[in-house]
Amino acid sequence: MKVGIVLGSRSQWCTMRYTAELLAYLDISYEARIITANKSTKSLHEYASKAINSGLEIIIAGSTKKIYLAGILASKTELPVVGIQMNTSSNKQTSLNTNSNNNNGNRIRMFNAGQEGAINAALFVASMLASKYPHIHEKLIKYHNQNDFYKTLQENFI
């Protein structure tokens, strides 16, 4: 396992699936988990604290305006944590956001909301892993040199 995808609710999968699909296309293994921060903080802390030992190298988390899942995870692990801002009925912001982590004052960089943010998070994570894994580097180059995958993604999902 290389990448952990953490969602606060099942409804976030409609956005986070773009991250998973692109990671799979780039041959990056991942696991996806739903861990509700306000209902199961203990499970969230346990997941983050055991992430390194379970073989994860990076965590991608969906966060809403009310709950900064990425910040909570980052406070409990040494792994890089990438946050994707989830659209909610009260939050339609699509620009980059910087959200504070209330636990330790660190800042967590959030990707823009929606499918574009989910795709950008996958590309960012792939870039981070590319120097360590040559096969990911090759797939990333292939992805950047062709438009077929992005066109397919647009036609089928966006």
Exposure pattern of 80-89 as b/e (b: 16+ CB <10 Å)? Answer: ebbbbbbbee
* Residue 48: CATH number of its domain: 3.40.50.1970
pLDDT attached to residue 144: 81
| 74: CB partners within 8 A, 6+ apart | 48, 81, 101, 106, 108
* Nearest-angstrom CA–CA distance, 19 and 32: 10
Q: Which residue has the tokens 């780039």?
A: 26
Counted domains in the chain: 1
Tokens 């969906």, located at residue: 62
Q: How confident is the prediction along the chain (158 residues), in pLDDT tens digits per residue?
A: 699 999 988 989 998 999 999 999 999 999 999 998 777 788 899 999 999 999 999 999 988 776 688 888 988 899 999 988 887 554 444 333 434 334 444 445 566 667 788 888 999 999 999 999 999 999 998 888 876 666 666 666 55
**Containing domain of residue 21, as a range?**
3-156
- Give the integer Cα–Cα distance in Å for 37 and 26: 29
Beta bridge partners of 58: 3
Kindly report the pTM of this predicted structure.
Answer: 0.78
Q: What length does the chain have?
A: 158
Q: What is the pLDDT of residue 55?
A: 95
